[in-house]
Homo-oligomer: A and B are copies of this chain.
Amino acid sequence: MKVLIVEDDPLHRSYLHEAVSAALPECETVIEAESGTMGEKLARDHRSAHVVMDLQMNNRNGIEAARTIWKERPDTRILFWSNYSDEAYVRGVSRIVPDGAAYGYVLKSASDERLKLALRSIFVEAQCVIDREVRGMQQKSLGQTRGFSDSEYEILIDIALGLTDRAIARRRGLSLRSVQNRLQQLYEKLDVYQTASDDHEDSRFNLRARAVTVAMLRKLLNYSALERAESELAEWLKQV
């Protein structure tokens, strides 16, 4: 077995290296990449079937790297190892995992044992292993009660990018009023009205900008999600 490690922090990289060696005696070679782009290249060159991937990296985001790797070989097994369980990351990962692929999501705060167990489960048994905390996030996100539907998330991203109502309408193939409807839903769910209609009605928020910030603070959005959305937007702008 050959394992590819993609992680830009040298400390964490060597820690992972040791963990992999310890957990997988059948693994002969461990390759290391220190950025997302490097990871893609090495995965291609070595036809890696087993990857451990950091999510937050400077050069190229782990989600991006995973996406191109999976596009080339969808049966690659990838273990995501991340500091955070932000909804933005969790959602980003589950958007790109191919049908039937084995993958895992383990937090860096997890114990040695948990990490090693996850390594064996995914790489040897081809089982999916999702950290409990992350799992909870998924439930909340996919469940309809307090979570966000895809359409709501979509429009959240659109206003975060700074698009006009009209631009959103064209991009998503909706009428202007529908866009505004979804915005109202979003405002409702994000609870942006709280301090808005106070005693005197002047201490008000700009709902659109406020929604983005609240989403940020609640970790529905984060930097890397913005980055991805921005590049998708640029692509779309080119087409039109």
Given the complex, which residues of B lie within 8 Å of A223, measured CB to CB? 216, 222-223
Interface of A is mostly: helix
Are A210 and B12 in touch, CB under 8 angstroms?
no
Q: Is the CB of A206 within 8 A of B208?
A: yes
- The residue that A161 contacts in the complex, of B83, B203, B213, B240, with Cβ under 8 A, is B213
Check if B208 sits within 8 Å of A163, measured CB to CB. no
Least Cβ–Cβ distance between A194 and chain B, in angstroms:
11
CA distance in complex: A106, B162 (Å): 34
> CB-CB < 8 A to A166: which residues of B?
202, 204
- Indicate whether A212 reaches chain B with its CB closer than 8 angstroms: yes
A150 part of interface (Cβ distance < 8 Å)? no
Contact at B209–A159, with CB atoms within 8 Å?
Answer: yes
Residue of B nearest to A14 (CB): B11
Query: Does A164 have its Cβ within 8 Å of any Cβ on chain B?
Result: yes
A226 part of interface (Cβ distance < 8 Å)? yes
Query: Number of contacting residues on A, CB 8 A?
Result: 39
Instruction: From known contacts A223-B222, A237-B195, infer whether A205 and B11 are also in contact, taking CB-CB under 8 Å.
Output: no
Copies of this chain present in the complex amount to 2
**Distance A217 CA – B159 CA, assembled complex (angstroms):** 15
Most interface-central of A9, A159, A162 (chain B CB within 10 A)? A162
Contacts of A214 in B (CB 8 A): 162
Q: A159 to B162: give the CA distance in the assembly, Å.
A: 13
In the complex, the answer to whether B217 meets A163 with C-beta atoms within 8 Å is no
Is A230's CB under 8 angstroms from B217's CB? yes
- Give 1 or 0 for each of A186-230: 1 = CB within 8 Å of chain B CB: 000000100100000011111111111110110000110011001
Cα of A227 to Cα of B216 in the assembled complex, Å: 9
Do A108 and B9 touch (CB < 8 A)? yes
Which 7 pairs across A and B sit closest by C-beta, in order of nearness? A162-B210, A162-B209, A162-B205, A11-B11, A164-B204, A162-B206, A162-B213
User: Can you report 5 A-B residue pairs in the complex whose CB atoms are below 8 A from each other?
Assistant: A11-B12, A160-B209, A161-B210, A208-B208, A216-B223
Q: Which A residues contact B (CB, under 8 angstroms)?
A: 9, 11-12, 15, 83, 108, 159-164, 166-167, 170, 192, 195, 202-214, 216-217, 222-223, 226-227, 230, 237, 240
Given A162-B192, A162-B209, A212-B213, output 20 extra A-B contacts at Cβ < 8 Å: A11-B11, A161-B209, A161-B210, A161-B213, A162-B205, A162-B211, A162-B212, A162-B214, A163-B206, A166-B202, A167-B202, A167-B203, A167-B204, A203-B240, A206-B208, A208-B208, A208-B209, A216-B223, A217-B227, A222-B223
